[in-house]
Amino acid sequence: MFAVSLLGASVLIFVACQALPGDQAAILLGTSATPESIAAKNHELGLDRPLVVRYGEWAAGMLHGDFGRSFASGDSVTSLIAPTLPVTLWLSFAALALAIVIALPLGMLAALRRRHLDGAAVSALAQAGMAVPAFWAGILLSLLFGVTLRVLPPNGYVDFRTSPVEWARHLVLPVCSLALVQSAVLIRYVRSAFVEVLGEDFYRTARAVGWRQGPAMLRHGLRNASLSLVTVIGLQLASVLVGAVVIEQVFVLPGLGALLVRYALNKDVMVIEGVVMLLVVLVLLINALTEVAYVFIDPRLRTEDER
């Protein structure tokens, strides 16, 4: 299934990129280019060959980790992606981890106190937070903490090897921007998962024998709610990866988003195809790992597989 999804995604990405408006050779040569020079450039780049042949070469190269070469710079796409990928991954995973840390206690509170003012307030704030775009949250945080208060860098990036402290300081605002929006989504799912647990017999039994609400929820409810939460977290990680591409533009981070925008302006389809395909691979891997996590969380699934 993974291979079929990957194949289908690669075909769609290739066709969509080839359908982008504009002539690659004309863009590279500029406004003074003649029809003859454009035709010669297309031949040099191999753009005059059939689409099927070009797709076959591109797909075959990807199997060996070769995404082709940039039409504009001549650099290999892999060498362009290599330094930008860690930036996007650090941003995405740190944002999701922070979102989970925020969402779990607040979601449990919203479930346990759903008939009280504090629980309703958490649910209302989460609902409002879901309507806030991550880039807008990033702009507000940058203006407040970076420009007005000047306690954190409003933009830019410092390599970890240069200064771990400055690296962390430059990631605080981007991570918080993504995490605040994602935590609002997760709070709603955590609340729903734990509200279902509150109606289960095992939870009522735990309460009947003397367990308090909080400990009973943590001891007996968290494991039973975790299956649905893992599904949501897997989906949200894919969403975070896409959101990171946008946030990188707000905070001027040299990640995959910055690379994609820079080469998209010149319609450098090889780079666009490589970056988008890499994001698709990451999303599919996340989905596969999510399915594996089900088996470890719920022993009944292991029993069904053995049958």
pLDDT tens for 85-120 read 999 999 999 999 999 999 988 988 888 888 889 888
173 or 74, higher pLDDT = 173
In DSSP terms, 76 is beta-bridged to: 69
Q: Does residue 298 surpass a pLDDT of 90?
A: no
Q: Does residue 166 surpass a pLDDT of 90?
A: yes
In which residue ranges of the chain is CATH 1.10.3720.10 found? 85-254
Write down the pLDDT at residue 299: 61
pLDDT mean across residues, the chain = 84
* pLDDT per position as a tens digit, 167-217: 999 999 999 999 988 898 899 888 888 888 777 777 777 777 777 777 777
Write down the pLDDT at residue 181: 87
- Report the CATH superfamily, name and number, of domain 85-254: MetI-like (1.10.3720.10)
155 or 207, higher pLDDT = 155
Write down the pLDDT at residue 302: 55
Write down the pLDDT at residue 177: 92
